[in-house]
């Protein structure tokens, strides 16, 4: 149970990657592949924070709405958002209208706008563990929700002023952005980068 399973095309995938049609492309082409660039990582950081307490499919299906509402997650643009933007976002049915998460996104952009170009990318990737120290998970039950690295990353980001990024959210970010490869053994996406 929880091992790689064959999809309709006969290819083996992580079980979650076949749980909805929307997940197949995300699993095969995106999740676990390296993501670089401050704005790209800011987007993933924000979306993982919005996902907190919800299923990822809810966020995935609204991702284009989030991108539109948050100016493509360009840090410089979001850092300039005002109270009027907050009210606009709270009324936007294309996103998750959670005041605390919206406020955190706006506040985080203001903090990150003060960082040097590439600093967010370098910081996040500095927490990528050595792949040789991480055996491939046999089942999804072997995949942790939190690691020492995600706890340290969360603490570092919080120390630098970022909000709504706990160890579980940090680990989800690490998985989604390819810092770790948590595709199960036998999955077609395992080892792709």
* Cα gap 31→17, rounded to integer Å: 10
Name beta bridge partners: 12: 6
H/E stretch holding 13: strand 12-13
Q: For the chain, give me the number of helices (H) and strands (E)?
A: 10, 2
- Each residue's pLDDT, cut to its tens digit, for the chain (193 residues) gives 789 999 999 999 999 999 999 999 999 999 999 999 999 999 999 999 999 999 999 999 999 999 999 999 999 999 999 999 999 999 999 999 999 999 999 999 999 999 999 999 999 999 999 999 999 999 999 999 999 999 999 999 999 999 999 999 999 999 999 999 999 999 999 998 6
Catalytic residues: 26, 48, 56
DSSP class of 184: P
């Amino acid at each position: 149970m929880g091992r790689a399973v064959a999809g309709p095309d006969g290819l083996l995938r992580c079980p979650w990657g076949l749980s909805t049609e929307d997940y197949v492309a995300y699993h095969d082409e995106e999740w676990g592949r390296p993501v670089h660039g401050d704005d790209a990582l800011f987007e993933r950081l924000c979306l993982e924070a919005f996902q907190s307490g919800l299923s990822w499919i809810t966020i995935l299906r609204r991702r284009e709405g989030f991108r539109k509402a948050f100016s493509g997650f360009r840090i410089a643009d979001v850092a300039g958002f005002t109270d009027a933007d907050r009210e606009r976002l709270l009324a936007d049915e294309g996103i998750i209208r959670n005041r605390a998460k919206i406020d955190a996104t706006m506040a985080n952009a203001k903090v990150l706008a003060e960082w040097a170009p590439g600093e967010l990318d370098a910081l996040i990737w500095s927490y990528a563990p050595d792949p040789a120290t991480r055996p491939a998970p046999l089942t999804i039950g072997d995949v942790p929700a939190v690691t020492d690295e995600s706890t340290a990353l969360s603490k570092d980001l919080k120390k630098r002023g970022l909000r709504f990024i706990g160890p579980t959210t940090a680990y989800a970010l690490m998985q989604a952005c390819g810092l770790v490869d948590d595709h199960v053994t036998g999955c077609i996406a395992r080892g792709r980068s």
